[in-house]
């Protein structure tokens, strides 16, 4: 059974600081996704990572994938309040399945 773990579960960070969210998964997969969810809202796709060593950046967020280590990271640079949300990684499994990580609730304060 595929397990996906994220850490930290909760992250409170000051504006302007940098931090990294980690996503570890237990079984080989070559598809890794990052989603953002605002309270009471749906999931917004941030990144799709499809190969070992893939790195994608959008604004203050950068995601990477190491399939050999079964690890993906989401790096936040110079955090701003608008980034406050819950971030989920999800691992592609068995063609059609997505197995979601536990989620990281990010709170950015002044």
Partner 1 sequence: DTEVTQTPKHLVMGMTNKKSLKCEQHMGHRAMYWYKQKAKKPPELMFVYSYEKLSINESVPSRFSPECPNSSLLNLHLHALQPEDSALYLCASSHHGGRSYEQYFGPGTRLTVT
Comparing CB distances to partner 1, the nearer of 17 and 41 is: 41
Chain centre to alpha carbon of residue 34 = 4
Helix (H, G, I), strand (E, B) or coil at 81: helix
Interaction residues for partner 1, span 34-73 (CB under 8 A): 35, 40-45, 48, 50
101 belongs to the binding site for partner 1 (CB under 8 A): yes
Comparing CB distances to partner 1, the nearer of 47 and 79 is: 47
17 belongs to the binding site for partner 1 (CB under 8 A): no
> Of 91, 99, 86, which Cα lies nearest the Cα of 9?
86
Q: Which stretch binds partner 1 (CB under 8 A): 11-19, 21-29, 62-70, 100-108?
A: 100-108
Comparing CB distances to partner 1, the nearer of 76 and 90 is: 90
Helix (H, G, I), strand (E, B) or coil at 20: strand
Q: How many CB atoms lie within 10 A of CB 68?
A: 9
């Amino acid at each position: 059974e595929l397990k996906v773990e994220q850490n930290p579960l909760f992250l409170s960070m000051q504006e302007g600081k940098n931090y990294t969210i980690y996503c570890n998964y237990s079984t080989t997969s070559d598809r890794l996704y990052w989603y953002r969810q605002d309270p009471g809202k749906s999931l917004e796709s941030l990144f799709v990572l499809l190969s070992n060593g893939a790195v994608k950046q959008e604004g203050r967020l950068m995601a990477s994938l190491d399939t050999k280590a079964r690890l993906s990271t989401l790096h936040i640079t110079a955090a701003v309040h608008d980034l406050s949300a819950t971030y989920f990684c999800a691992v592609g499994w068995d063609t059609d399945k997505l197995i979601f990580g536990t989620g990281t609730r990010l709170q950015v304060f002044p």
